[in-house]
Structure 1
Amino acid sequence: MTLSRIGFSFCLGVASLGLMPSAFAQEAGAETAPDAVSADARLRALYEAETEWRHQEFQLVKDDNRWVQGNRYPSETLETQGRRLAYWQDVLRQLDAIALDQLSAEEQINAAVFRQMIWEKVNSLEYKTYEAPFNSDTFFWGGLNPRTGFSSAARYRDYLGRMQDIPRYFDENFANMRAGLARGYTVPRVGIEGRDDTIEAYTVTGEDNPFYDAFRDMPDSIPEKDQVAMRTEALELIEAVVAPAYRALLRFMREDYMPRARTSIDAHALPDGKRFYRDQIRLYTTLDLTAEEIHQIGLKEVARIDADMKATMKATGFAGTFPEFLAFMRTDPQFYAKTPRELLSYAAYVTKKMDGKLKDSFSFLPRYRFTIRPVPDAIAPIYTSGRGGLESCLFNTYDLPSRPLYNLTALALHECIPGHSFQAAVALEAPDRPEFRKDIYFSGYGEGWGLYTEWLGTKLGMYETPYEEFGRQTFEMWRAVRLVIDTGIHSKGWSRQKAIDYLASHTALAERDVETEVDRYISWPAQALAYKLGEMSIRKLRTKAEAELGTAFDQRPFHDAYLALGAVPLPVMEAQMEQFIATEKSKLARNQTEAR
C-alpha cells in the first residue's frame, strides 16, 4: 500500500477529480462552464459565511492582515459546544450537496481543505475533546500571555480585556473537565505529572507575574501617559483577577483533577476508544491508514535509520558498541553548552548559515523575520527542546546537560529556517486564497516539511561533523520511533517504560527529552504520527521529480510549489505536486523539441 491512499467518506478523491492549483492548472483564458460557476459560487458562499461566523464565535479581530484574539476568550460552555457542533454538522450537509465534479480546479482544492477542516471540528466535538482541554505539551491556561508586547494601544486594550476575562474562561473549562472526570474521559495522570508546576509563576502578584512582561517595552507610538495608565491597570488586574484565577486553577488541578485522572495510558481505554484513536489518526495525518499499517511503516524506517546511524558512528572513529556510543554522546562535555548564551548563539549561527543557502533552495524569499528566544522559565522544565513560529524560534536552555549541541543544527533547520518560521513567513505572503485557508494548519503538511528540511540540510552542507550528522539521524530516528511507540501505546498495550526504553535505545536523545516525549505521545494520541508520514511523502515526490526530470531538476521551484500550496491534507498535496512534476516534465519536453 502507499502512503497516499485516500479513504473515509469525508476525503475527496483528489486524484480522480484532477485537483490542481490555478498556478499549475489549465491554460489561461480557458472558459469556465456555467455549472462550474454555479457550484463555485455555492461553495464560496458556504466557506465565506462559515469564516465570518467562526471569527465572531471565537472573538477574533483583524490586526495587520492577521486574525488575533479580541478582548475576550471564546465561550467554552456545554451549550456553546452543542451549538457549534450543530452549526458545523449543517455546514458539512451543505457541502455534501455541492457537485464536486462541477467545481473549478482551484475550488476543488478549497473544497478538499474546507471539508477536512470542518470534519475535524465536528469529530472533536462529537468526542467532546473539550472535556480534556490540555495535554502534557499544550494547556488551555498556557500562552494567554504573549511572548512579546503588542504593536498598538488597541491590542494592549484587548489584552487587558482578556486578563479581566480569565476567571470566566477558567470556570467554564473547569466545568467541562469535571464532566470528563465523571465519564472517565481525562488526560492520563502520568502524562501530566509536573505540568501543574507551570501554573505557579502566574499565581504571584506584581511585575514578576509573566502577564506583566508585555508591558515592559511598549512602542513609542503609544503616548507615555497611556503607557503608564495601562501598566497601572495591568498590575491591578494581576493582583485582583489574574493571580487569584491561577491560584484557583492550581488548587483545582492538584486537589480535584489530578488525583482523579485516569491511570490507564492508552486511547483504547477512553470511551469508544478504538474508534477515537482511529479518527485521531485520520485527523492528524489526513491519511486513511490503520494503526497496524503505521506500526509496520515505523519498524521498517527504524531498521533503515539504525543502519545509517551505525555507519555514522564508525565514521567518528568510535571503537565501542552502539549503546556505548549513545552513552558517550549523552555524557561527554564537548557536546554541551556551558551557558544559555552559548546554546542560543550556536542556534543563531546555524540559522544565519542557512540564510546564505536560501538562494540555492528557494526562488521566493519572504520578507518577515523571526527572532531567537529562550523558552520562558515558567514552562521550560516540561517543554520540548525547541519550537518555531512566525515571530520567534524558542530554544530550551533549562538543564543544559540535557541539551546536546549536536542536535541543534537539525533542530534549528526544523523549527526556524527553512522550517516552521520560514514556512509561516511564506504563508503570510502567499498567493491570494480564501480567508479560511490563511491560518489553517495540518500536521502532516507542516511537520512533514519541518522534518524534510532537516534532511535537506544534508544537501546543503549544514552538518559540519559526523556528530552533527548523527544528531540529525537521531532526530529522524526519533520521528520514526514515534510511529512505533504511538501505535504501540494506543493500540498494542505498550507500557510507558517500554516506550521509554525503545526511544532511549534507538536515539541519542537526552533522558529528559525521552521522558518528555513519551508523555507527550501518551497524552496526545496520534499527533506525533504526522511528522514522519508527511516527510516520507515529500521525499517520495522529490525522488520522482528527480527521476523524471533528470539533470533538469531544480529544487527551488519544487520547494516554491510546495510552500505556495499553503497547508493542505497530504492527499491534496500529493495530487498537486504530481501535477507540478507533470507540468515541469511537459516544459522540458517542449524545450527539448524546440532545441532540435
Structure 2
Amino acid sequence: MKMPHAASLLAIAWLAGTAPAALAQTAPATNAPAAQPTAADLKLKALYDAEWTWRQKEFARLPGSGRTEGGADDHLPSVTAATQQRRYAYWSDILKQLDQIPDAQLSHEEYINKAVFKTSVWENATKIKYKTYEAPFNSDTFFWTGLNPRTPFSSADNYRRYLGRMKDIPRYFDEQIANMQAGLKRGYTVPRVSIEGRDKTIEPFLAAGTDNPFYKAFAAMPDTIPADQRQAMQAQAQALIRDAIAPSYQKLLTFMRGEYMPKARKTIDAYSLPDGKAFYQDQIREYTTLDLTPQQIHEIGLKEVARIDADMKKTMADAKFQGSFAEFLEFMRTDPQFYAKTPRELLSYSAYVTKKMDGRLKDTFNNLPRYRFTILPVPDEIAPIYTSGRGGLESCLMNTYDLPSRPLYNLTALTLHECNPGHSFQAAYALEAPNRPAFRGQTYFSGYGEGWGLYTEWLGTKLGMYETPYEEFGRETFEMWRAVRLVIDTGMHSMGWTRQQAIDYMASHTALAKLDITNEVDRYIAWPAQALAYKLGELSIRKMRAKAEAELGDKFDQRPFHDTLLTMGSVPLPVMEAELDRFIQAEKAKAAAGASGAAQ
C-alpha cells in the first residue's frame, strides 16, 4: 500500500473552483424543511415528473420499470431527424423553465434534484444540438449490439416484448442508416481508423437460424413458462430471425462496407468536426461535469503520469527485477506465468477477487445492497474489439478473447473497478437507494460513476486486495492508463497528436497489452472526452476523502463516508463535493457533541 505523495496532493488541488457556473454554489443555508415543500419545490417536482414520463415513452421504456429486465417496451425508440429535433425543442424549453425556479427557494433535497435534472437535460439537448445521432456508434459501443439480452428473461411477458422489439429492427436500422447518410454529407462521421474491423461485429447476426445471437434467450427459456407458449415463441423468434433480423443486419453490413466506411473521415480530432472546438469543450463538460479547458486537463495528466511513473518504478524494485523499466514492461507483457490458459481460469480469477472483496465489504460500508450480479465472458460477437471488462447491474463482463492479451495481474484492479465494489455493486446500491424521483435512479454521470470505479482500485490497497508486487504493478498500470488518457485525449482532439503518437505514449508508460492499447486509443478517437471522466472523478473523490481524514482525524470512518457517497446516487462532481462537505461538517458536529457529553 502506498500513501499519497506530496505531488499527488498537488495534483488534486486543481479541482477547487472548476465547477460549471450553474452548479458551483452549494445549497442555500436557508432552505425550507423537506417535510414542507415550498412552492418552488412543487413546481420543480411537477416539471421533472412530467419530463420523466415523457422521456420513458420517448425511449420505449415501461413506466416505473427502472433498469431491470422488464423495462424495455415492445418496440424500439424512434431516432429520425424529425424526432430528434422535436426532443431538442422539448428539452430546450425544459431548461428555460428550470431557469425560472430560484435555487434559494428550494429545499436541500430538491436543490440536488434540480442540479441532477438540469445537468441531465442539458446533456441530452447538447447531443442533439451537435447532431451526434448522425454518428450513432463508436469503436466499442454500437447501436446494432446489445439488442439481444445477455441472460434469458424470467417471464413470458418479457419474451413477448422482446419479440416485438425484434420485429421493429428493420425500421430502427433504416432510421439509423438515414442519419448516418446525413452525417456523411456534412463530414460528421466516426473516424475511419477507429472503426476498422468493427463491421465484423455485424457478421454473427447474419445467421438465419438458431445460431443467431438473438435466439440465445429462447434456447434457455425458463420452465415456469408453459411448454406450448415456449414452443410458439421459439417458432416466432426463428421466423423473425429469418425474415427480419438477418436481412436487416445484411443491409446494414452492405451499407457499412460499401458506403460508410469508405467515406468516413480520415481525420481523428474533434476540432476538425463542424464547430469542433465548441463541441469538444461541451464533450468535456458532459463527461466530467467540470469546466476545465483541454490545456488544463493535459497539464493535470502530465503531473499524474510523472507521479505514477515513480510509483511503478518503486514497485519494479520491490519485485526485485534486474533490468530497465522498458525490459520490465516487456517481461510483464510476455512471461507465461501472468496469463490464463483457458477462459475459465481467467473468469475464476475474477470470481476469486469478487469473493475476497465480499469479505471486506463490512469494513467498507455500513449498508450492503441485496441485488447480486453474475460474471460472464464478453459475448463472442464483440469480444475482439471490446474493452477488457465492463460491469453493470445484471452482470460483470470479462473479456476472454485472445488470452495472451489478458494478463492476470491486471484482474484484481479490473474486477474491483467493474464488479465489486465498483460498477456492479454501485448499480445495486443505486437500485436500493432512498426513495427519490424516478429520474435519479437512472441518471448516470461518467465523472461520478467512473470516478468511483477508479477510486475502488485505489481502495483495494487499503483492504489488502493486492497480493503480489505484480498485482500492485497491475493496479498502477491501470491508474497510469487513466492518467495517460488525460494527455492522449486532449492531445489528439485539441493539440494535433497523431494516432501513432498516442499509441507510443501509452505503450511507453503502461504494461497494457498491445491489443488493449490499440483498442483504447481508437476508443478515445471515436468517443471524445469520455475517457477524461475516470481520473478527474477519482481525483475529486480522493480529494474529499483526504479532506475528511484531515478534518476528522481519528474520528474518520470510511464506512459512512462511502455510504454517503453511494447513497446520493450519480450526481455532478460539484454536487458530490458539496454533499461530502455536508457529511464532514455533520461528523465534526457529532464528534463535538460526543466530546461535550463525555466532559459532563
Q: What is aligned with 1:237?
A: 240
Please name the residue that 1:205 is paired with. Answer: 208
Tell me the alpha carbon deviations over residues 196-252 of structure 1, each in whole angstroms, 9 at most, x when there is no partner. Answer: 000000001111100000111112221110000000100010000000000001001
**Is 1:195–2:198 an aligned residue pair?**
yes
d(CA) in 2 for partners of 1:30, 1:495:
53
- Note the C-alpha offset of 1:319: 1.0
Contact 2:34–2:109, Cα closer than 8 Å, also in 1: no
Partner of residue 55, structure 1:
56
- What code does the residue aligned with 1:5 have? G
After superposition, residues 546-557 of structure 1 pair within 5 angstroms as 546-557=549-560
Corresponding residue of 2:183: 180
Where does residue 12 of structure 1 map in the other structure?
23
With normalisation by structure 1, the TM-score equals 0.96
Aligned in 2, Cα 1:30/1:213: closer, same or farther, shift over 3 Å? closer
- 1:468 maps onto 2:471 in alignment: yes
**How far does residue 64 in structure 1 lie from its aligned partner after superposition?**
5.8
- Return the match for 1:446 from 446, 449, 453: 449
Secondary structure at the aligned position of 1:125 is classed as helix
Matched, 1:2 2:5: no
* Count of aligned pairs between the two proteins: 585
- CA distance in structure 1 between the partners assigned to 2:293 and 2:63 by the alignment: 40
Alpha-carbon displacement from aligned partner over 1:367-412 (angstroms, at most 9, x marks no partner): 1111111111111100011111111111111100000000000000
Equivalent residue number for residue 42 of structure 1 = 43
Q: Is the 8 A contact 2:290 2:573 kept in 1?
A: yes
Instruction: Give the Å deviation of 1:17.
Output: 3.4
- The residue number in structure 1 matching 2:117 is 114
Q: What residue is the counterpart of 2:382 in the other structure? A: 379
Q: Tell me the residue number matched to 1:324.
A: 327
Are residues 1:337 and 2:349 paired? no
Partners of 1:407 and 1:522 in 2: CA distance: 24
CA drift at 1:549: 1.0
Alignment of 1:70-89 (within 5 A): 70-89=73-92
1:227 to 224, 230, 234: 230
Inter-CA distance 178–439: structure 2 relative to 1 (3 Å threshold): same
Alignment-derived partner of residue 313 in structure 1: 316
SS of residue matched to 1:186: coil
Distance 1:89 1:16 in 2: 24
Provide the C-alpha distance between the structure 2 equivalents of 1:149 and 1:248, rounded to a whole number of angstroms.
27
Partner of 1:127: 130
SS at structure 2 position matched to 1:464:
coil
Displacement of 1:5 in angstroms is 2.4
Which of 138, 148, 152 is residue 151 of structure 2 equivalent to?
148
Tell me the CA shift for residue 256 of structure 1: 0.6
Distance 2:570 2:29 in 1: 19
2:149 counterpart of 1:138:
no
SS in 2 for 1:60: coil
Distance 2:183 2:47 in 1: 33
TM-superposed deviation, 1:18: 5.0
TM-score normalized by structure 2?
0.96
Conserved? CA contact 1:339–1:400, under 8 Å: yes
In structure 1, C-alpha distance between the alignment counterparts of 2:27 and 2:371, rounded to whole Å: 37
Distance of 1:304 and 1:17 partners within structure 2: 38
CA distance in 2, matches of 1:4, 1:389: 31
Q: Compared with structure 1, are the counterparts of its residues 208 and 18 closer, same or farther at alpha carbon in structure 2 (3 Å cutoff)? A: farther
Q: How does 1:266-285 map to 2 (within 5 A)?
A: 266-285=269-288
On the 8 A contact 2:53/2:63 being kept in 1, the answer is no
In structure 2, what is the Cα distance between the partners aligned to 1:105 and 1:542? 22
Report % sequence identity.
68
- Contact 1:561–1:580 (CA<8 Å) still a contact in 2? yes
Aligned counterparts of 1:30 and 1:525: Cα–Cα separation in 2: 40
Q: Quick one: distance in 2 between partners of 1:16 and 1:564?
A: 18
Paired residues for 1:575-586 under 5 Å: 575-586=578-589
SS of structure 2 residue aligned to 1:208? coil
CA distance in 2, matches of 1:65, 1:312: 44
Shift of 1:8: 4.6
Q: Which amino acid aligns with 1:56?
A: K
Does residue 417 of structure 1 match 2:420?
yes
* 507, 511, 517: which one aligns with 1:508: 511
Structure 1 residue ranges without an equivalent (≥5): 20-24
> Aligned AA for 2:107?
S
Question: For residue 105 of structure 1, what is the aligned residue in structure 2?
Answer: 108
Partner of 1:218: 221
CA offsets 1:399-446 (integer angstroms, 9 cap, x no match): 000000000000000000000000001111100000111111000000
Taking the aligned partners of 2:64 and 2:34, their CA distance within structure 1 comes to: 37
Q: Which amino acid aligns with 2:150?
A: R
Question: 1:277-333 CA distances to partner (integer Å, 9 max, x unpaired)?
Answer: 000000000001000000000000000000000000000000100000000000000
| Offset from partner CA, 1:11-57 (integer Å, 9 cap, x none) | 233326359xxxxx99xx7875xxx6110010000000000111111
Matched, 1:587 2:587: no
Q: Are the equivalent residues in 1 in contact too, given 2:66–2:441 (CA < 8 A)?
A: no
- The 1-side partners of 2:25 and 2:452 are apart by 21
Shift of 1:62: 4.4
1:246 counterpart (249, 270, 278): 249
Q: Equivalents in 1 of 2:575, 2:39: separation in Å?
A: 23
Moved more, 148-157 or 560-569: 148-157
| Letter in structure 2 aligned against 1:478 | W
State the alpha-carbon separation in 2 of the partners of residues 148 and 52 from structure 1: 28
Q: Alignment partner of 1:347: what SS?
A: helix
* Conserved 8 A contact 1:4-1:571: no
Residue 393 of structure 1 aligns to a residue whose secondary structure is strand
Structure 1 residue 2: Cα displacement: 2.8
Structure-2 separation of matches of 1:452 and 1:66: 24
Residue 15 of structure 2 aligns with an amino acid whose one-letter code is L
- Partners in 2 of 1:7 and 1:90 — Cα distance? 24
Asked if the contact 2:56/2:63 (under 8 Å) is kept, the reply is no
| Match 2:535 to one of 532, 536, 541 | 532
Match of 1:22 in 2: none
Q: Is the 8 A contact 1:4 1:570 kept in 2?
A: no
What RMSD over aligned residues (CA atoms) do the two structures have, in Å?
A: 1.4
Distance change >3 Å, CA 18–CA 128, structure 1 → 2: farther
The reply to whether residue 517 of structure 1 matches residue 520 of structure 2 is yes
Query: C-alpha distance in 1, partners of 2:67/2:143?
Result: 21
- Give the Cα separation in 2 of the matches to 1:384 and 1:500: 16
d(CA) in 1 for partners of 2:180, 2:188: 9
Distance in 2 (alpha carbons) for counterparts of 1:139 and 1:326: 33
Distance 2:139 2:429 in 1: 30
Q: Deviations along 1:164-212, whole A, 9 cap, x unmatched?
A: 1001000001111111000000000001101000000000111110000
CA contact (8 A) 2:316 2:473 kept: yes
Q: Distance in 2 between matches of 1:239 and 1:584?
A: 62
> How far apart, in 2, do the equivalents of 1:288 and 1:375 lie?
35
| Maintained 8 Å contact 1:4/1:537 | no
SS, match of residue 446 in structure 1: helix
Specify whether residues 492 and 66 from structure 1 end up closer, same or farther in structure 2 by C-alpha distance, changes over 3 A only: closer
